Amino acid sequence: MHGLLERALADREEPLRIAIVGCGWFGRGIARELLRRGNVHLSGLFVRRDVGRAQALLRDLACAGPTRAARVSSCLVSTDLEAIGDLRPLDVVIDASGDITAGARSAIVAAECGAHFITVGAEMDATIGLRLARLAADHAVIYSLCDGDQPGVLARMIHEIQFLGFDVKLAGCGKEFLDIHQTPEGVRPYCGDGHNPRKICSFTDGSKQGAELTAVANGFGLKPLVRGMYGPTVPKRDIVAAFEDLARLSERPGGFVDFTLGSVEPEQGAPVFVIAAHSDKAVRADMRYLKKGNGPLYLFFRDHHLCHLEAATSVLEAVLFRQPTLAAAGRHADLVAVAKRDLPAGRRLDGFGGFDCYGVVECAETVVSEELLPLGLAEFATLEQPLHRDQPIPRSAVALADNEVTKLRRELERLPLGEPLRAASVTVDRCASEKRIDLDSR
pLDDT of residue 414: 94
* Domain boundaries for CATH 3.40.50.720 within the chain: 2-120
Cβ–Cβ < 8 Å for 392, 337:
yes
Q: Is the pLDDT of residue 183 over 50?
A: yes
- For CATH 3.90.1210.10, the residue range(s) in the chain are 333-417
User: For residue 420, what pLDDT is reported?
Assistant: 58
Mean per-residue pLDDT over the chain, rounded: 91
CATH fold label, 2-120: Rossmann fold (3.40.50)
Report the pLDDT averaged over residues 4-25. Answer: 92
pTM: 0.92
Q: What is the pLDDT of residue 262?
A: 85
- Percent of the chain at pLDDT exceeding 70: 94
Residue 77 pLDDT more than 70? Answer: yes
Whole-number pLDDT of residue 431: 32
CATH number corresponding to 333-417: 3.90.1210.10
Whether the pLDDT of residue 427 is over 60: the answer is no
Please state which of the ranges 5-14, 85-94, 106-115, 367-376 shows the lowest mean pLDDT. Answer: 5-14
Q: For the chain, what is the HEC assignment? A: CHHHHHHHHHHCCCCEEEEEECCCHHHHHHHHHHHCCCCEEEEEEECCCCHHHHHHHHHHHHCCCHHHHHCCCCCEEECEHHHHHHHCCCCEEEECCCCHHHHHHHHHHHHHCCCEEEECCHHHHHHHHHHHHHHHHHCCCCEEECCCCHHHHHHHHHHHHHHCCCEEEEEEEEECCCCCCCCHHHHHHHCCCCCCHHHHHHHHCCHHHHHHHHHHHHHHCCEECCCCCCCCECCHHHHHHHHHHHHCHHHCCCCEEEEEECCCCCCCCCCEEEEEECCCHHHHHHHHHCCCCCCCEEEEEECCCCCHHHHHHHHHHHHHHCCCCECCCCCCEEEEEEECCCECCCCECCCCCCCCEEEEEEEHHHHHHHCECEHHHHHHEEECCCECCCCECEHHHEEECCCHHHHHHHHHHCCCCCCCCCCCCCCCCCCCCCCCCEHHHC
pLDDT digits (tens, 9 = 90+) for 154-182: 999 999 999 999 999 999 999 988 999 99
Phi then psi dihedrals of residue 246, to 5 deg: -70, -40
